[in-house]
Each structure stands twice: as structure tokens, then as C-alpha cells.
Structure 1
Amino acid sequence: MPPVLIVAHGQPSNPGPAAADLADLAAKIASHLPGQTVASATLAEPDALRDAITKLGPGGLLFPMFMAGGWFTRINLPARLTAAGAQGWQVLEPLGCLTALHDLAVKVAAEALQTHHGPIILAAHGSFKSPVPSDVANHVAAQIRAALGCQIETAFIDQAPQLKDLAPLGSQSICLPFFAAAGGHVTTDIPAALAESGFKGLLLPALGLRPEIPALIAAAIGAATPVCQQDCRFRKA
């Protein structure tokens, strides 16, 4: 079985905690893939990806803990693999593009609506440079809307509409962060932006922190779906 490397952006200002969290996630994923080596590396750690590739050897699978496809998965990560001397490595579809994750988002929203009536805000990173991150977030919001018939909107940190500009939504509102890990955006930026907007509702943990995630990623690794070569296959959702 090919070795697996779980890769995340990490936290450049303080790489250690995010790297430790990712290593813990890799261990949980490995528990669902008996006999298969699963390692981790963040891009914020100098040389971590190169060192991991050297240790794991050729013919591996790189799983991106990113919430969108695009430049990082199609260009940056393959270039990093080449620079690391990787042979026969394959970049898989990132976490945020997996249908199973979208189904999980619907499940999480349904659970939250049992105690709060909504509306739901899907909080995502977004980008002022590319539509790709917002495309997948809007796709997931549309999936939730279609499945549950609820009011849901997307709002972002790095593009309009921004979280900080939300109109007050009342105590029954719900915010679901469409993020992979508990980095600074989740622990600091989202709460600060919501506070600025006057949000009084329920702030859920980041979707990537759900207990279902290790098994979900293990299943994706088992399927070994290569990264989509289109800018975003959710553009028309």
C-alpha cells in the first residue's frame, strides 16, 4: 500500500501547535487504514514536506487538508513534490471538495436546526484574488438549502460579503465555519468578525474538527481520487 502524507497550511506565526494537531489527525486516520503508513506535514514548517517525502519514499499519496481546490492543489503542491525529489506521488482531492464532507455539512446543519431555528451562516475563507474558494462554499450552502429547506447564506473573511458586515440575525441564528482546523481564523478571526456584526446566535466548531473526519479522510484515501484539474467543478452549483 502506498504511503500517505496529510498536508495542511499550518500556522506560520507559530507552527508547532498546528503541526501537533495535524500529527494527531494523521494517527487517527491511520487507525482506519491498517498496515498503511500515514504521516503529516504543514507548509508552515520549514522543510517538513521535503523531509517527510524523503522518509516515506516513492509512490505516495498526498492528501491536502484544504477547503478548496485550485492553485495550491494543481500547481503549488505538485511543484513542491518535484522540488522535494518525489517520484510517483499523487495529489488527491482536498478535504473541502469531497462529496462526503458536503454530506457531513448537511448533517451538522440538521443537528444544529434541532435546537436553533436559523438562519444559517456558512463562514468560509474566501479570496479577493480567486473565485475558487467561494465556489465550493456556495456549493455546500446550496446543498444544505436543498436538503433541509432552510435559510442559509455564505459569508467570508477575505471577500464580500464579509462576516463582519452581517446584519444582526438574532439568537436563533447559526454559524458553521467551513474550515479544516482550529487555526487563527477559527479561534480569533471568525469570533471577532461575528462580534463586530452583532451576531448573537450559535457558533459551531469548524467542520474539519468533527469526529467523523478521520474516517471520512481514510475513505477518500482508499478511493485515491486524483485532484480535479479544473479551476472549480462547483462553479455552477
Structure 2
Amino acid sequence: MVSSLTVTSSGRSTGWAIRANGGTQRSLRLDRTNLTGFTNGIEIRDALGVSIRECRIGHTHPTNPKGIGIRIGNGRTHGGNGVTIEDCYFSSLDKAIVTHAQACLVSRPIIELCHTGIETHGITSVLSPWYDSTTDVAHVNVQPNTIGGGRSGTGVLLLGYGSSGWKMMYGTDAERQRSVILPERLDFPPGEDASRPRGVSFGQVVIDSHGVVHARDFKKLPE
């Protein structure tokens, strides 16, 4: 367990503030850790039952976001399973979180001055994320799995989303079909893109704020 740790770089070090790249990290817990000034924050190559809670990660270059706040897995040979990232604050980063893990939970992240909030290559549940207006690439970017020939699952379960805008990105249609979005409220319009309306989303089926169901087709169940 790592708790109440502060690590500061005055020169925007290009390395990782905390890095675990040897072996499998089991039941590792990082709490109340402040990592400031580094280009990259925490990297755990192979994570099993890892929790990262109440951490502050970022640097002091708001006009030039770079680096990654937390990376789980290396995207080639290792990912992880049973990872929790909870109540963490991220600032001035290219990507706040990149995860290749299965069964990854990201709860109540605060993301400011970052190009991308959460990039997932595994199966991730995101609860009540908050973004500021500078998140210009994607709030959540759902990409294909790149580990072991891409055999593991992908997709996102996104709960309590929408108050900070709507910036979803998908690597392919498969990632979109595997994703479910339940907004925190449903008082916003479906948007101008008829092919990707906003609302309660079950893959490519969307229910907008007017109660309209957007789908490619309907099939009646047998009596």
C-alpha cells in the first residue's frame, strides 16, 4: 500500500512518477498520492485487484497538455483485471486515463485541461465523470483491444454522463455496439448528427429526450 505520498518534478520530467513494470501487481492500493510536474503519472503494466483512490495527478502547463495520468497495461502483452480508479483529479494531460484492463471501474474522476479524458481498450465502467470545457478530443474514447491478438472484450458502461457535454469517440462500430450510456439526466437535445444521436444508448439504439427511439430497424417478437 502506498498512501499520503507527494512526488514533485520542477522540470516536467518525461518519465513516470510511479511505475510498476516488472511482474504482476496484486492487491496494490495507492491512496491520497499527489504527483505534480511529471509528464506521466502512474503506470502499472499488469494489474490484478489494484485500486487508485483520491490521487492528484498532473502538471502546471495548462496551455500545453502532455502525457498520461494513469496507464493500466502496456497495450501489447499485459493489461489487468479488477482495477478501480476512484475520486482522482487530473490536469494538464494529453490523456487522463488509458486502460487496457478488463473489469475496470473509474468512479467520479475530475478532469481539467486534458485533451482526452478516458481511453479504454478493455471493458470499463465509468461513473459520474466531470470534465471542463477544454477536453477537446474526447471525454471517453473506446478503442479496440490490442493485447493477445485482440481476443479480450471491449466496451464501456457509462453512468451519469452528459452534463459536461457529449464527446464520445469509438475506434470501430464494434466498440460502439458494445457500449451502454445512461445519462445523469435527459433534458438535452439529440444533437445535429442524425447518425449518432445523444441520449440513453444501448449500442446503436438510442432513446432521446423526446422519447424518440433511434434504431436501424424493429423486429416484432413472436406471440
TM-score, normalization: structure 2? 0.25
TM-score, normalization: structure 1? 0.24
Greater relative contact order (Cα 8 A, min sep 6): structure 1 or 2?
1
Higher strand share: 2
